[in-house]
Amino acid sequence: MTDGSENTVTKKNIFCNRCRNETNHILKAEHYRDYPDYNPDGSIAFVERLGNRFWVCAGCDKGTLEEFYIFDVTIDDNIATSSEEYFPERTKLHVEDKKFKQLPDKLTIIYRETLRAYNNSLSVLCALGIRALLEGICADKGITGSNLKTRIDNMVSIPLPQNIVINLHSLRFIGNEAAHELSKPTKEELRLAIEICEDLLNYLYELDYKAHQLTSSRKLKETRLKNTK
């Protein structure tokens, strides 16, 4: 087992959580430890390397710690098995919290907790949150039914287009599988489900408000123009 440090690579493109983009990062420090494995004849079979690197974003000076692993440092870098992990965790694939001005407080809490579960890779909890969000929308809009399936079917009374209502059952299935079978949805499924929920919230709570704001703004503008004549 040997310790060491070397600055073979001094710059690297890494996603910066502050800049919200991949930026140049400058290597400030590196330390690693090698773990050799030997053949019966005493020759080295392979050498595993575990190490840490400290990077600083060239754009905003935010620091990032990299933990890296190389299975065999005795072979070419292009074919050596390696992995790395960054701290704090990269937020490149995180879903940003959308600001819904007209959303009731209870739904806002469910929405934000669902996003928090997604961003922390708590897939089952995220799926349950998506189901809870649907339940909450139905309750807030006064949509009744003996179960969630019936309540979703009755969302045509909001009114919501029939084809949209039919496809909302996919969100119910994701929640049911997580609740009753502890089935873990994929990250892609959850992200798409969240986007559908956000579109639904925008349609049900924000669209009319925004349209009214635009109409009021235009009427005010017309009134001011008339008064200047």
Structure tokens belonging to residue 136: 């909450």
Average pLDDT over residues 197-220: 89
| Predicted pLDDT at 49 | 92
- Which of 14-23, 63-72, 76-85, 163-172 comes out lowest in average pLDDT? 76-85
Same domain, 121 and 151: yes
In a domain, 100, yes or no: no
Q: Are the C-beta atoms of residues 30 and 53 closer than 8 Å to each other?
A: yes
For the chain, what percent of residues have pLDDT higher than 90? 65
Same domain, 37 and 136: no
Whether the pLDDT of residue 186 is over 60: the answer is: yes
- The predicted-structure confidence for 90-139, as pLDDT tens digits, reads as follows 887 788 899 999 999 999 999 999 999 999 889 999 999 999 999 999 99
Same domain, 32 and 115: no
Q: Are the C-beta atoms of residues 32 and 49 closer than 8 Å to each other?
A: yes
How many other C-beta atoms lie within 10 A of the C-beta of residue 49?
A: 20
Instruction: Please give the tally of structural domains in the chain.
Output: 2
What is the pLDDT of the chain when averaged over all its residues? 89
Whether the pLDDT of residue 80 is over 80: the answer is: no
| Predicted pLDDT at 72 | 84
- The predicted-structure confidence for 40-55, as pLDDT tens digits, reads as follows 998 888 899 999 999 9
The DSSP H or E segment spanning 187 is: helix 187-201
User: What's the domain range around 32?
Assistant: 2-87
Same domain, 122 and 46: no
More confident residue, 67 or 222: 67
3-state secondary structure (DSSP) of residue 41: coil
In a domain, 156, yes or no: yes
Long-range CB contacts (within 8 A, 24+) of 157-162: 158/204, 160/203
| Predicted pLDDT at 196 | 95
| Predicted pLDDT at 173 | 93
Strands (E), the chain: 2-4, 11-16, 21-38, 44-57, 63-70, 82-87
Q: Are the C-beta atoms of residues 86 and 114 closer than 8 Å to each other?
A: no
Whether the pLDDT of residue 1 is over 60: the answer is: no
| Predicted pLDDT at 150 | 96
Same domain, 214 and 114: yes
Average pLDDT over residues 170-191: 89
More confident residue, 9 or 126: 126
- Quickly state the pLDDT bin for 62 (edges 50, 70, 90): very high
In a domain, 17, yes or no: yes
Whether the pLDDT of residue 76 is over 70: the answer is: no
CATH of the domain at 154: 1.20.120
Cross-strand partners of 162: none
